[in-house]
Amino acid sequence: MGILVREDLVEDVIQVERINSQIMKIKIVMGKKVQNIFSVYAPQVDRPEAEREAFWAMLDGVTTVGESVVLLVAGNLNGHIGEDRRGFEEVMGAHEFGVRNQEGERILELC
């Protein structure tokens, strides 16, 4: 797990936190905003439900930030969001494909 930061932005990083083996966060000042950038690796869909639930509970807990803070979650969330946008038009683009699975639903709910 890691996050690469461009050399000219290194001085703007104000915090680096390894939450666990699947979630890492950096806080970086960009302009007048503080950005929380998360690198994540979700358990695969064939892993036990309890393991997947624990990951999503941890991610939900650490991604709660104030209105003035920018939040970016990137990595492998091991889900398919599918092409059905109903109910998620504000967070989902128009160029998706396939069928949503349970992890895809969780991704969209996080957004």
Residue 77: exposed, middle, or buried by beta-carbon count in 10 A (0-12, 13-18, 19+)?
buried
Q: How confident is the model at residue 89, as a pLDDT? A: 83
pTM (global) more than 0.85: no
Q: How confident is the model at residue 63, as a pLDDT? A: 84
CA 6-42-96 angle, to 5 degrees, is 80
Q: Look at the alpha carbons of 86, 89, 95, 100 in this order and tell me if their dihedral is positive or negative.
A: negative
For residues 63 and 19, is the Cβ–Cβ distance under 8 A?
Answer: no
Which structure tokens are listed for 73? 């979650």
Phi-psi region of 78 (alpha: psi -120 to 50; beta: other; left: phi over 0): left
Provide the residue-wise pLDDT of the chain in tens; the chain has 111 residues: 789 999 999 999 999 999 999 999 999 998 888 899 999 999 998 899 999 999 999 998 888 777 767 888 888 888 888 888 888 888 888 777 888 888 888 888 888
For 13, the 3-state DSSP assignment is strand
